[in-house]
Amino acid sequence: MERRTVGAAALGVGAIGLGCMPMSWAYSASEQDGESSLRAVHRALDRGTTLLDTADMYGPFTNELLLGRVLKERRADAFVATKGGLLAGEQHIVANGRPGYIRRACDASLRRLQTDCIDLYQLHRADPEVPVEETWGAMAELVSAGKVRALGLCALGARADRRTGASIHATTLRQLDRVQQVFPVSSVQAELSVWSREALDGLLPWCEARGVGFLAAMPLGNGFLTGTLTPGGGFEPDDVRARHPRFTAEMMAANQPIVACLRRVAERHGDATPAQVALAWLLAQGRHVVPVPGTKKETWAAENARAADLVLAADDLVEIGALPDAQGSWD
């Protein structure tokens, strides 16, 4: 697979990553199967996907434990990206950016992942009660200690911050400027896809101008852009899409023209799929972009990896770029 460079630390990764969250968090629990997920990770590695993206919160903790079983055997084949700074409680998810907590969280992730060094340690969310420079400084100490190779920052979507009313992306840009003065940022992870393009206007140019890698989260629109979801098909109660405004039957039907466009482009490229076109579109947004599609199935992991071989024509990019914004709130 084509290799791309992640940011200031100049770390090489496969052009397509693997988001491991669906294996143990946020999607239908009845479809989660540890052995099947392990096969998906192995298949991705076999296909040249090296970046494995996880977080201590996923599960919580079980996602890292799952990956640890793979890394015990194939650490040299993988680029390990995990996250700290969020705590999942029974009712709420809260940020904790206190330096002491960050140090403990990193040590715990190392144990679960069965590795002595994390390639990319990402701040999952900035803690509004702790200056982000303090949190970042503690993370920089982890690099000095040899526990971490590079640092990244994650961002929410472009919706407004409920406390301040400001755009989340605008808030993230300010945080990035601040932490960059403390220790180099190697990557930014934020949502970017054909149906959620807000990052094109701020975060992506910031990264490109500074040689920072951009990890495109939810590049397949929580599965919508694969064209395999049926409007009105419903989701299990524990699936995040069951409460998501864009996944009502009405909104899924209204956004079918986006999938239709991806299908048209795919047909011009032989046996390509809509999902592969959506990933190839992201790869075309810049050499610093690495899509991180999430899956728990071996078949989809292999299909996503093959998207690295798909090169879209100029006309394809124009057609996709002309698509209207997706309908439906993203909150």
CA dist list (Å): 228 to 120, 122, 223, 263: 32, 31, 8, 11
Q: Using H for helix, E for strand and C for coil, what is the string for 162-181?
A: CCCCCEHHHHHHHHHHHHHC
For the chain, what are the domain ranges? 3-222+275-311
Residue 162's pLDDT is 47
Task: Decide: 52 and 18 in contact? Cβ < 8 Å.
Answer: yes
101 is catalytic: no
Residue 307's pLDDT is 98
DSSP per position, 116-154 = S-EEEEEESS--TTS-HHHHHHHHHHHHHTTSEEEEEEE
Token duo for residue 108: 């715990």
Q: Is the pLDDT of residue 145 over 90?
A: yes
| Mean predicted confidence (pLDDT) in 18-25 | 95
| Mean predicted confidence (pLDDT) in 230-235 | 88
Q: Note the pTM of the prediction, 2 decimals.
A: 0.95
- Does the CA dihedral 42-82-184-143 come out positive or negative? negative
Q: Which residue has the tokens 């395999």?
A: 228
Token duo for residue 39: 């096969």
- What CA–CA distance (Å, rounded) separates 314 from 311? 10
Task: Decide: 41 and 52 in contact? Cβ < 8 Å.
Answer: yes
Nearest to 43 by CA among 21, 70, 64: 70
Catalytic residue among 27, 58, 101, 121: 58
* Residue range 284-321, pLDDT digits in tens: 999 999 999 999 999 999 999 999 999 999 999 999 99
| Mean predicted confidence (pLDDT) in 2-20 | 92
Round the average pLDDT of the chain to a whole number and report it: 94
| Mean predicted confidence (pLDDT) in 269-283 | 98
Residue 26's pLDDT is 83
* Residue range 36-72, pLDDT digits in tens: 999 999 999 999 999 999 999 999 999 999 999 999 9
* Residue range 163-202, pLDDT digits in tens: 554 567 899 999 999 999 999 999 999 999 999 999 999 9
Check whether domain 3-222+275-311 has CATH 3.20.20.100, yes or no: yes
Nearest to 289 by CA among 202, 145, 192: 192
| Mean predicted confidence (pLDDT) in 98-123 | 98
